């Protein structure tokens, strides 16, 4: 199974990009031992549409187009479920054991995601009720994926 982080917008060179890449690499390396093929980041270009609704729709269509067949879709949404790290690890384990091809974690653009992509998601995940910049949301997600992989592999990174 692959873990894919699909995000609208690019992280510019600098500390945020380096930290995101560090967690991605750690998760990918640790994940090989538990049957994860890769941890990927797919960046979707921000829409240039002037109308907000059209911009959200264009970005959501681009995100939907990268979801592989038989994949689980998880959208980051401030109104979603607040899952702890062990629960995220448990979900990944269940999806892997069910033979899902990938788990695609979607981070929308500044104006959010289209209602249709939210409704079709298998899980709506929140990192609390606060609003987070997209750069930090991506880093927090990648850290949680790394943490989930270490939980599943028995690595001591996560402490209860």
pTM value is 0.94
Is the backbone of residue 14 left (phi > 0), alpha (psi -120 to 50) or beta? left
Q: Is 132 helix (H, G, I), strand (E, B) or coil?
A: coil
Asked whether residue 157 carries a pLDDT value surpassing 90, the answer given is no
Task: Count how many residues are written for the chain.
Answer: 160
Count of CA atoms in the C-beta half-sphere (13 A) of 113: 29
Average pLDDT over residues 139-147: 97
Average pLDDT over residues 2-31: 95
Which structural domains are found in the chain, ordered by start? 18-153 (3.40.1280.10)
Task: State the Rg of the chain over Cα.
Answer: 15
Instruction: Give tens-digit pLDDT for 33-64.
Output: 999 999 999 999 999 999 999 999 999 999 99
Residue matched to tokens 């995100």: 63
Average pLDDT over residues 112-124: 94
Q: Is 39 helix (H, G, I), strand (E, B) or coil?
A: strand
Q: What is the pLDDT of residue 99?
A: 95
Asked whether residue 97 carries a pLDDT value surpassing 90, the answer given is yes
Instruction: Give tens-digit pLDDT for 60-79.
Output: 999 999 999 999 999 999 88
Tokens of 121: 């998601």
Q: What is the pLDDT of residue 155?
A: 74
Residue 38 main-chain phi, psi, to 5 deg? -170, 160
What band does 132 get if pLDDT is binned at 50, 70 and 90? confident
Q: What is the pLDDT of residue 159?
A: 66
Asked whether residue 153 carries a pLDDT value surpassing 70, the answer given is yes
């Amino acid at each position: 199974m692959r873990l894919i982080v699909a995000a609208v917008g690019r992280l510019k060179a600098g500390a945020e990009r380096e930290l995101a890449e560090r967690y991605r690499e750690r998760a990918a390396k640790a994940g090989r031992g538990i049957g994860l093929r890769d941890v990927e980041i797919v960046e979707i270009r921000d829409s240039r549409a002037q109308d907000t609704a059209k911009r959200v729709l264009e970005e959501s269509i681009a995100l939907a187009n990268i979801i592989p067949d038989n994949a689980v879709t998880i959208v980051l949404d401030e109104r979603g479920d607040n899952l702890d790290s062990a629960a995220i690890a448990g979900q990944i384990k269940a999806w892997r054991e069910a033979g899902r091809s990938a788990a695609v974690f979607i981070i929308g653009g500044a104006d959010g995601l289209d209602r249709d992509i939210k409704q079709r998601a298998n899980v709506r995940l929140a990192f609390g009720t606060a609003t987070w910049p997209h750069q930090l949301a991506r880093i927090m997600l990648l850290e949680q994926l790394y943490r989930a992989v270490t939980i599943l592999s028995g690595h001591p990174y996560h402490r209860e």
